[in-house]
Amino acid sequence: MAVFGNLSNRLQDTFEGLRSKGRLTEADIDTAMREVRMALLEADVNFKVVKDFVAKTKERCLTSEVLESLTPAQNVVKIVLEELTDLLGTTESKLVLTSRIPNVIMLVGLQGSGKTTAAAKLANLLKAQGHAPLLAACDVYRPAAADQLETLGNELGVKVFRGDGQHPVQIARDAVRAAVDGMKDIVIVDTAGRLQVDEAMMQEAADIKAAVKPDQILMVVDSMTGQDIVNVVTAFAERVDFDGVIMTKLDGDARGGGALSVRSVTGKPIKFISTGEKPDAFEVFHPDRMARRILGMGDMVSVIEKVSAQADEEQAEAAARMLQRGMTFDDFLAQLKSIEKLGGFASIISSLPGGDRLLDKAGGQIDERMTKRTEAIIMSMTKEERAKPQIINGSRRARIARGAGVEVYDVNALIKQFNQINKMMGKMRAQVGDAKGKGGRMSKRARRMMGGLGGLGDVASQAEMQRMMRDMFK
Amino acid sequence: MGWLKRLSEGLSKTRKKITGELNVLFEIGPQVGPEFWDDLEATLIMADIGVGAAEEVTSRLREQSQREGLTGLAEVKEALVGLLAEAFTTGDYAILDERPSCVLFVGVNGAGKTTTVGKIASAAKARGRHPIIGSADTFRAAAIEQLDVWGRRADVRVVERTRGSDPASVCYDTIDAAEREGADLILIDTAGRLHTSADLMRELQKVVQVTRKRATCPVRVVLVIDATTGQNGLSQAKEFNEALGVDGVIMTKLDGTAKGGIALAISHDLGLPVLGIGVGEAISDLQPFDAEEFSRALITGVDDNEE
């Protein structure tokens, strides 16, 4: 993400150059809009959608509120964010079920967009909500597609209906019947991937629709899709029509501008986002978060949620213990591991507000090998040393350095760092203590955050955190 | 049928619109004004080559047109094709023809790795080679079964282990089997993964390392990219290349309306050759890449006689 920098930083730079002139002019706003345009195009928002969006946003920026502002960059960002959020859908659009039994939900999309996985995840979600879903395997073209669905279904405890050798329309029809017989209240019809220019396949999708009259048709769209998304969704909207969209693979670093294109071209809401390999990595869509993501701006909420998801209760307990008694090197190692799981420091930092700038200052990149080296050093300590770092004296340091294949000063640096973090945790302990009374329990969220990020997670002292990160990556 | 024709046919549904736009562009002819260049830039952006690249190509074409006094439609267009084609990195196009050789296919989820492996195995078999497939996607449900079907279709042996087993060990087994049976083309399908997943990328590094260590023939890593991919394709290619040392790229799904312009950015910025393009579902639809033809399709997708 650091490649393009985020819109906020760019506008800051743009306006910094203009500020000396006092009141901004329309030409200045044009310059800013050029940045907005670039940001959106780089996020894969369709060219024509960008054009309209920029024209509309420019109007709003030509007010005295912006032109006379001392912080025009922030005002422009605010307006762009608002407009984007608005366009993406101001409310969260959840799945609407009807009273029909069984409800039929049909999934359509291009090859490889993630329909089968999304079908399983949707089934998992509905099951958790107390429904009894049935998965219908209507992809008869891709080899072993039905096997894939069945395997996923088995893992989730969701029944899969397959009609090997049958026509997809027939399979869909039979699945609905089987749902009635099997007391299932929702049928999720997984269809084959198809190109929107493939007449026969588009007709087949229309035929399946006509046969089972789905209550909801959801189009599955890969968040990494580029400009062509507009052609794809337009054709699907015309031929099959759909009620909403599932955006997939959002656990990557794609900005996902396609969401904006889909929404603005078809008017259909994004309903769910799919964010990982696990069956529960499936969430309701939040327009405001998506807007920030498209602009490459910090998505703090997602980071916190990601961290929370990583941190299990055990880690949370460890965090509480750390706050009480200070951190050991074993804790430190566990923190490093969980950061690695989140995609490394660079990815975390770049999702923090101002993180990209911080990264740029640090030379644009963080050497993740540092993490490896740190791990090696800790692994070279004895159990006792890890638990009681204060016993690590000069000769122990030399031994550790030999074991890890590093120099003694690397070991010294790590221990220094470690002590600093511990000191910071001491401060946090004081804060938590103040807030909750001595020995009081931290809020669950605070504990979880601690579990995931250790000393890095304290949102209350963001500045301190940033400073610390800088120190760590020197 | 030539691949360009096939590709053009695939593009037929939207090409009318695009041709319309471009014909208008080029009909302006000698009196090209600022609008012409804006529209050209727009066309390039909509082909997914990226906004930076689009701007650069446009301004270079503009310069060249002035410098060389190009006024006619055909001239400017040829110059544009030349500019685009030249931006591709040419490389060792014979990677897939080396004998013996071992090729690992990597990429994000849903890029079309398994299908590509199936197609290449079939084509190689038809040309009298002795391919063997390693099913190292031990993660995705039924990936092994999917490859099995391809193997049966092509009459090619597929080496596999149960789902969830170590993918590196599958590679090991595959090379063992290849040596026993005298196979001269080892094709290894790996599990799709997002380039941002550190754990999974490390796993893949291990798979590649093990394969490189074990194999006695050259080991190549081919990145499979979906033509509908936007600017994220560059990020994908960068990460995979850094982690594994990629030898080339195969672009799939060019039979849709996506132009696959990100291939240009990847090839140019990372110095990776494009080794082939997938233009359909049939076995014969994996075609060799030709920078000039691809560039032509990128900006027009049609022969000019139409409309």
From B14, B143, B230, residue closest to A44, measured CB to CB: B230
Asked if the C-beta of B108 comes within 8 angstroms of chain A's C-beta atoms, the answer is yes
**What is the reported pLDDT for A416?**
87
- Report the number of distinct structural domains present in chain B: 2
Please report, for the domain that includes residue B69, its CATH number.
Answer: 1.20.120.140
Asked if the C-beta of B258 comes within 8 angstroms of chain A's C-beta atoms, the answer is yes
Residues A162, A276 within the same domain: yes
CB contact under 8 A, B111 and A112: yes
ipTM for the complex shown: 0.86
d(C-alpha B120, C-alpha B102), whole Å: 12
Measured in whole angstroms, how far is the alpha carbon of residue A23 from the centre of its chain? 39
What is the tens place of the pLDDT at every residue in A118-155? 999 999 999 999 999 999 999 999 999 999 999 999 99
pLDDT, mean over chain A: 81
CB contact under 8 A, A226 and B229: yes
Query: Which of helix, strand or coil describes residue A340?
Result: helix
Among chain B residues, the shortest Cα distance to A149 is held by: B141
Closest CA to A266 of A219, A225, A223: A219
Better-predicted residue by pLDDT, A180 or B34? A180
- Give me the residues of A, 415-474, that contact B with CB < 8 A: none
pLDDT of A367 strictly over 70: no
Q: Which residue is listed with tokens 């599932």? A: A246
Residues B58, B99 within the same domain: no
% of residues, chain A, pLDDT over 70: 75
Asked if the C-beta of A254 comes within 8 angstroms of chain B's C-beta atoms, the answer is yes
Q: Stretch A436-455: mean pLDDT, rounded?
A: 43
Out of B58-62, B91-95, B243-247, B299-303, least confident range: B299-303
Beta bridge partners of A107: A190, A218
**What is the reported pLDDT for B101?**
94
B297 in a domain, yes or no? no
DSSP state of A225: B
Q: Stretch A17-36: mean pLDDT, rounded?
A: 78
d(C-alpha A214, C-alpha B11), whole Å: 31
- Maximum mean pLDDT: which of A2-11, A35-44, A445-454, B208-217: B208-217
What is the tens place of the pLDDT at every residue in B233-271? 999 999 999 999 999 999 999 999 999 999 999 999 999
- Report the number of distinct structural domains present in chain A: 3
Residues of B in contact with A222 (CB under 8 A): 110, 226, 228
**What is the reported pLDDT for A474?**
37
**What is the reported pLDDT for A355?**
58
d(C-alpha A250, C-alpha A224), whole Å: 8
Best of A115, A224, A246 to mutate (most B CBs within 10 Å, chain B): A224
pLDDT of A169 strictly over 60: yes
Please report, for the domain that includes residue A280, its CATH number.
Answer: 3.40.50.300
Q: Quick count: other Cβ atoms within 10 Å of Cβ A17?
A: 10
Q: Stretch A390-419: mean pLDDT, rounded?
A: 89
**What is the reported pLDDT for A234?**
96
Residue B74 confidence class, pLDDT cut points 50, 70, 90: confident
Closest-CA distance, B69 to chain A, in angstroms, reads: 30
Among chain A residues, the shortest Cα distance to B9 is held by: A197
Residues A326, A451 within the same domain: yes
pLDDT, mean over chain B: 86
Angle, CA B233 vertex, CA B232 and CA B238 arms, to 5°: 100
**What is the reported pLDDT for A131?**
95
Q: Stretch B30-53: mean pLDDT, rounded?
A: 82
**What is the reported pLDDT for A400?**
92
A461 in a domain, yes or no? yes
pLDDT of B306 strictly over 80: no
Residues A13, A81 within the same domain: yes
Residues B82, B162 within the same domain: no
CB contact under 8 A, B10 and A197: yes
From A46, A143, A249, residue closest to B109, measured CB to CB: A249
Residue A12 structural domain: 7-88
